[in-house]
Chain A
Amino acid sequence: MTGTAVDLIWLAPALALLGFVLNGALALARPALKTAVSIIGVGVLLGAFAIGIAVFRSFVGLHTDAPVVFQYWSWIPVGSLQVNVGFQVDQLSTVMLLVVTGVGSLIHIFSVGYMKEDPGYARYFAYLNLFVFFMLLLVLGSSFPVMFVGWEGVGLCSYLLIGFWFSDKVNADAGRKAFIMNRIGDFGFMVAMLMIFWSTGSLDFGTVFAHAPTAFVAGGGAITAITLFLFLGCTGKSAQIPLYTWLPDAMAGPTPVSALIHAATMVTAGVYLVARCNLLFAMAPVSGAAVAGVGALTALFAATIALKQWDIKRVLAYSTISQLGYMFVAVGTGGGAMSAGIFHLATHAFFKALLFLGSGSVIFAMHRAYHASHSHEDAQDMRNMGGLARSMPWTTTLMWIATLAIAGVPPLSGFFSKDEILAAAFARGTTQPVWLVFWGLGLATALLTAFYMTRLMLYTFHGPNRTGEEERPHLSEAPWIMTTPLLVLGLLSLGGGLLNVPELYRGNAWLHHWLEPIGRASAALIPETHLASNTEWILVGIAVAAAAIGIVGAWRLLNLETLVPARSAPPERGFARVLRNKWYVDEIYDALIVRPLVWLSREVLWKRIDQQVIDGALVNGAARGTRAVGWANRWLQTGQVGIYVAVFLVGVLLLLWRAMS
């Protein structure tokens, strides 16, 4: 207890949970009370955000480097395993707290407009509140198990919200896919937890990190295995190679969900985990390189796929995977770069939430237009859009801001964060050349990012309109309750870079210094490499040039006049087709893993083992055996009482004889 507002930290998740309970009750009892649902759903989030700010301000006022840990009650007291339900307030968790509740509040407000007509309105807000509760548990938990509960909980909410419109089988399948892919990653998390307990005898962050330097040999097998298993968990939750395929399918959920869960918060949980365990990763250089390498590969791989997608949300989904790759490059590099990863996490939350909500506003408009003409065209296909800037000026402007931010155009937020990651990778590359490869991949990704985002903007908002003669008059800007959050996010995307203006531009690198206590123990293990400011300027120049080439390239190469609506579009040919089909990764997974597994389950486990061995030999076999024995001995049962008495008598005499002798 500190006697300040920091003590109120429990209120933030408690409010979200309260919102879930109330909205859940309303969803069951009075789903028509949409006003009450909106007030509760948005109110608890704004309350949580206010608490987040208060906690943050008091924590700054404490001027402490050590985390403030609250232990509430004993949860799993088993022998030497003592797990308490506790929250940890420190530099990292307060940043996450503010991002989750802040961006979450804006997305909740947007949802009020977006989901207004939906019959499942109350259920939607109940799930959304529950998600925020689990997300706060994840970022505030003071031990691995508490974090794991949040980790699983957000997975559950993600599943529920992807399959929100579950009456459509595609959506339900997408939810299931997300759940199963995440389970594979969670297995890694659990194994890592067990191994951590095995070596350090505790699961509390504080104890584990304090014991880690003595419990593990730096670079040894145990720590490498632990960190790699942790990272397996991250690849599931944060959609990295090889477990990323669920995220594009997760776009089946409502668009604000994609913004909140599948762009701004939940998918960054893996980045948070690596940042939280930065000491462990710093002690295992192989794992650090693996994290950065997988991140860099994923960044480029997903960016290539995004080049040829037509569904506006899928472009953004692959873009999210790609940007998450950047964050992993940063946290995998470790040391000072860890703060760059968290910085990119925050700015990405701003501009990607803005992009998703903007696309939501576009889809909303397209839906209304198609609804008015009773058409069944695809409202998310960019080939059906075009020229929307004329009817949606606000959305267009704000999405352009986000596009320039994600592309890394100075001085928008994405420029600073992405540039810092690339510079950190390059700096590490001066001593370990493999990082130069990661830097190169990151740079190529930056170019592709600028290209596909400009492509998205041009196809959606510019050129001739392809929606249809009848629908065109119905296209219009979304209501104010949807554009206001966009405006706020737009301002954040514009100015988010101020959080961490590097010293190169005479900034004070606030976030970097703020997060320093978190990475202090690990920074000693990683050689700090300082680049000369000339080199830094050259790197900035190269990164900006990549972004500029991407944007201008898209502008020059794409011909908006010849694009035709989706229904009359010819199929792609050649390499474009490979990209359009996402490198056939889903098909490869299907052939290599899903089909053999289904075959094994169906033909062997079900038809042989279950039906023949268990049902046939064991269950029916036992019954048949009993019946055979009964049939063989039925002559003993005459029904004559006299004979029973005689047998009884013989038995008694035998017993007496036994007792005598």
Chain B
Amino acid sequence: MLLSPALAISAVLFTLGVAGVLLRRNAIVIFMCVELMLNAVNLTFVALAQPLGIGGQVFVFFVMAVAAAEAAVGLAIILAVYRHKQSVGLQNMNLLRD
């Protein structure tokens, strides 16, 4: 039925998210890519809930709740970084190095 196209779309979305996290330098864009990955997974859950039962749909709500919390914390961190560095470019953030 619609299962295979749905899974294919979510795979594409997830790969796009991964590529974005890997390739982009702007923290906000990376953050959005992470959201994209989460939602790709949500799509998989919903799609698989059709044959496998209601559990997948329930789980999606959990993921959304966690994503909302993550958005609040993540954006706050990015804001704090911006205040500190006047930039949200990840290439400038390598304090872990030494």
Query: A639 at interface (Cβ–Cβ under 8 A)?
Result: yes
Query: Do A639 and B94 touch (CB < 8 A)?
Result: yes
Query: Do B21 and A645 touch (CB < 8 A)?
Result: yes
Query: Do B97 and A637 touch (CB < 8 A)?
Result: yes
Q: How distant is the Cα of A645 from the Cα of B97 in the complex, in angstroms?
A: 15
B residues near A640, Cβ cutoff 8 Å: 90-91, 94
A residues near B21, Cβ cutoff 8 Å: 642, 645
Majority secondary structure, A binding face = helix
- Which one, A639, A642, A649, contacts B97 given CB within 8 A? A639
Chain B stretch 1-27: residues in CB contact (< 8 A) with chain A: 18, 21-23, 25
- Which one, A638, A639, A649, contacts B22 given CB within 8 A? A649
Query: Do B22 and A642 touch (CB < 8 A)?
Result: yes
Query: Do A639 and B18 touch (CB < 8 A)?
Result: no
A residues near B97, Cβ cutoff 8 Å: 637-639
A77 CB to nearest chain B CB (Å): 56
B30 CB to nearest chain A CB (Å): 8
Classify chain B's interface size: 10 to 19
Chain B stretch 73-98: residues in CB contact (< 8 A) with chain A: 90-91, 93-98
Which of B21, B23, B25 counts the most A-chain CB atoms under 10 A from its CB?
B21
Query: Do B96 and A639 touch (CB < 8 A)?
Result: yes
Asked whether A645 and B22 contact (CB < 8 A) given A637-B96, A637-B97, A638-B97, the answer is yes
B69 CB to nearest chain A CB (Å): 21
Query: A641 at interface (Cβ–Cβ under 8 A)?
Result: yes
A residues near B94, Cβ cutoff 8 Å: 638-640
Q: How distant is the Cα of A603 from the Cα of B91 in the complex, in angstroms?
A: 58
Query: A646 at interface (Cβ–Cβ under 8 A)?
Result: yes
Chain A stretch 621-659: residues in CB contact (< 8 A) with chain B: 637-642, 645-646, 649
B residues near A645, Cβ cutoff 8 Å: 21-22
The chain B residue sitting closest to A646, CB to CB, is B22
A residues near B18, Cβ cutoff 8 Å: 649
A residues near B95, Cβ cutoff 8 Å: 639
The chain A residue sitting closest to B18, CB to CB, is A649
- Which one, A637, A641, A649, contacts B93 given CB within 8 A? A641
A residues near B22, Cβ cutoff 8 Å: 642, 645-646, 649
A residues near B91, Cβ cutoff 8 Å: 640
- Known interface pairs A639-B93, A639-B97, A649-B22; 10 further A-B residue pairs with C-beta atoms within 8 A, sorted by A's residue number: A637-B96, A637-B97, A638-B94, A639-B94, A639-B96, A640-B94, A641-B93, A642-B21, A642-B90, A645-B21
Selected A-B contacts with CB under 8 Å, 13 pairs: A637-B96, A638-B94, A638-B97, A639-B93, A639-B98, A641-B90, A641-B93, A642-B21, A642-B90, A645-B21, A645-B22, A646-B22, A649-B22
Give the 10 A-B residue pairs with the shortest CB-CB distance, closest first.
Answer: A639-B94, A639-B97, A639-B96, A646-B22, A641-B90, A645-B21, A640-B94, A645-B22, A637-B97, A642-B22
